[in-house]
Structure 1
Amino acid sequence: MNLNSQTDSKDQRNDRLFHYVVKSCAIFVLLIMLAASFSMIWSGKEAFQTFGFSFIWNSSWDPIEKNFGALVPIYGTLVTSLIAMLIAVPVSFGIAIFITNIAPKWIRTPIATAIELLAGIPSIIYGMWGLFVFVPFMADHIYPWVNDHMGTWPLIGPLFQGPPIGLGMLTAGIVLSIMIIPFVSSIMREVFATVPTPLIESAYAVGNTTWEVIWDIVLPYTRSAVLGGIFLGLGRALGETMAVTFVLGNAHQLSLSLLEPGNSISATIANEFTEADSSIYLSSLLALGFILFVVTFIVLAIARFMLGRLSRREGA
């Protein structure tokens, strides 16, 4: 009896120790996040004190006159990320569906492995490939055609008018989509593989086509996880630096055209951090970092809110 009591006491101590260890890990992550956000807003306070909230919608960026605004980098970040998601989501969905439901078993593993290897390529490699290979291709073959044909469309024509230099938000968005496709498709593939096989086989047994099985069985069963994977991909797209820096053009100009060079928050920080020769210049760059932190946090918070609504709806 005494031995059992000692064993129970030891187990309780081990459980408490384990609880404190994992709780400390979670708190440590939160502290790191709070410390990073506080350091950025503290270092960028001079910019916010000098320009106020107009710093967010001011489009000028003049280091000589010390007049800085975040509108152009914010606009470039959001537009390139939107282009990337418009391309990456359907392509990733197609890849995941093909691997899990259509492809022969002997080819599934090689394709999945190749996609996972693409995810491990450094972003600077994508950027160099984009600058030396993809940008000339866009300049010679895509941009002229887009300008001549799509630039004349009513209403949305100004989006596709611009010089055929190859650098621009459209190019950056495409390169960014190539970067995030492996991440989004891998998440989708993993969650599609969790659909119970008897559920799929029973759907086929009652006469459903492959498309009907995917649309009516696979997607409803995994929609929460798929949505979470999409928003994780968006979070990565918002913060990508080197690949975008190489092909975006790094021009502080606000243009509606997707063919014109632009800038993003991460590219601006990477290009100009070493050139900040005044306190207000450095503070403006750090303020941009805080804005990117806030934008990413808002995106992920929206994702959690939508996932929560889906979970409650499924529970109901």
Structure 2
Amino acid sequence: MADMAVDSTGLQAAAGPYDRARALSAFKLSDSAFYWTTRACAISVLLILGGIIISLMVGAWPALREFGFSFLTTARWAPANDPPVLGALGPIYGTLVTSVIAMVIAIPVGLGIAIFLTELCPMWLRRPIGLAIELLAGIPSIIYGMWGFFVLGPFLANHFQPAMIALFDGVPVLGTIFAGPPSYLSLFNASLILAIMVLPFITAISVDVFKTVPPVLKEAAYGVGCTTWEVVRKVVIPYTRVGVIGGIMLALGRALGETMAVTFIIGNSFRISGSIFGPGTTISAAIASEFAESDGLHQSGLILLGLLLFILTFIVLAAARLLLLRLELKAGK
């Protein structure tokens, strides 16, 4: 047995250096392949992004050269004129107004749902509500548009809008914002659809970050006599504000770029109206409704609209990153 052990040890000793070298070589090769594969994937994202930017700039250059800065300040859109008159002010206005109204509606509702699910909801009810939120996130945007056109639009025009018009009639500023006549297709209808569409993003992300709050912090707050509202306001929200703001900015990015649902119910009018019950358009809706029939300078103008939407989204995301960075630095101090 000792001889066998010696022989075995000798064989292992003889074979060990060779096997170890081969194993190290294989590990090094696989690690190098993994490194370059992941690096290529990361670089491909930059290449794709750069390609999109370059193609947008090339396609938009004729319109940019023709109209210059006036493209941003002109509200008229008349591609059939000779020469064409193209202005992006109407779509930019519609994009900003619908997104702002949608976020004003969706943020408190989404945070309220998230707080209810994590702090107040009975266990037997959490799963159905969570499933409903997931289903809202999975519904295609064209379904939202069809529902808004056939159901929500008529309901708002027949019931909600007349009441709001009568309520604010003659009130300075608000009377203009809520001016009539009622319409199935309006900025407000599109905003409400956008609010419903981005609601699952805000809620789902907020629920996830609220669950990361250490229970000991909430228990300590309850222990000194805080109410549930005080625990949420002074413990949960401050602890998770970075994640909550990140979810809100993700939802805002979705609202800025939504196309099909908005195209169905916004009215696709390039004019600027002081009333949110009037028709309008957004950058994405304008591109979707006219791109198939466009050519020449008209098509270049639509591509320039796409470039503006890209820049607008980039500015929003960059501002969000700067805000999150400031919050992280402040929390670190």
Q: TM over 0.5: same fold?
A: yes
Partner of 1:207: 225
- 1:110-189 correspondence runs (5 A): 110-189=128-207
State the match for 1:54 in structure 2.
70
Q: Distance in 2 between matches of 1:166 and 1:18?
A: 55
Q: Which residue of 2 aligns with 1:305?
A: 322
Contact 1:167 1:247 in 2 (8 A): yes
- Mapping of residues 83-102 of structure 1, within 5 Å: 83-102=101-120
Q: Pick the aligned partner of 1:291 from 308, 313, 316.
A: 308
Contact 1:85 1:234 in 2 (8 A): yes
Which stretch of structure 1 is more off in the superposition, 4-13 or 23-32? 4-13
How far residue 224 of structure 1 moved from its aligned partner, in angstroms, is 0.4
Post-superposition Cα deviations, 1:83-109, rounded to whole Å, max 9, x if no partner, equal: 000000000000100111110112112
Task: Tell me the residue number matched to 2:30.
Answer: 14
Match of 1:79 among 97, 103, 111: 97
- 1:243 partnered with 2:261: yes
Matched, 1:280 2:303: no
Bigger shift: residues 146-155 or 89-98: 146-155
Match of 1:33 among 49, 55, 66: 49
Which range moved further: 37-46 or 78-87? 37-46
The two structures, once aligned, show a CA RMSD in angstroms of 1.3
Q: Matches of 2:29 and 2:169 in 1, distance apart? A: 70
Q: Distance in 2 between matches of 1:307 and 1:12?
A: 38
Query: Contact conserved, 1:128 with 1:246, CA < 8 A, in 2?
Result: yes
Of residues 214, 218, 232, the one that matches 2:236 is: 218
Structure 1 stretches of 4+ with a deviation exceeding 6 A read none
For residues 312 and 43 of structure 2, the distance between their equivalents in structure 1, rounded to whole angstroms, comes to 23
Does the alignment pair 1:314 with 2:331? yes
Which runs of no fewer than 5 residues in structure 2 stay unpaired? 1-15
- In structure 2, give the amino acid aligned to 1:311: E
Deviation at 1:42, TM superposition (A): 0.7
1:151 and 1:159 in contact (8 A); partners too? no
The percentage of counterpart residues that share the same residue type is 50
Q: Report deviation, 1:166.
A: 2.7
Deviation at 1:18, TM superposition (A): 2.0
Q: Which amino acid aligns with 1:180?
A: V
2:231, 2:241 → 1: CA distance?
A: 14
Q: Is the 8 A contact 1:143 1:166 kept in 2?
A: no
d(CA) in 1 for partners of 2:29 and 2:185? 61
Superposition TM-score, scaled by structure 1 size: 0.96
- Deviation of the 1:256 alpha carbon: 1.3
Matches within 5 A, 1:185-200: 185-200=203-218
Cα distance in structure 1, aligned partners of 2:283 and 2:186? 15
Give the match for residue 67 of structure 1: 85
Match of 2:267, SS?
Answer: coil
Deviation at 1:199, TM superposition (A): 2.0
For residues 137 and 128 of structure 1, what CA distance do their matches in structure 2 show? 14
Q: How many residues align?
A: 315
Runs of at least 5 residues in structure 1 that lack an aligned partner in the other structure: none
User: Take 2:29 and 2:221, find their aligned partners in 1: how far apart are those partners?
Assistant: 50
Deviations 1:137-170 (A, max 9, x none): 1111111111121242223321111211232111
**1:125: how far off?**
0.5
Partners of 1:15 and 1:218 lie apart in 2 by 42
* CA distance in structure 2 between the aligned counterparts of 1:16 and 1:87, rounded to whole angstroms: 50
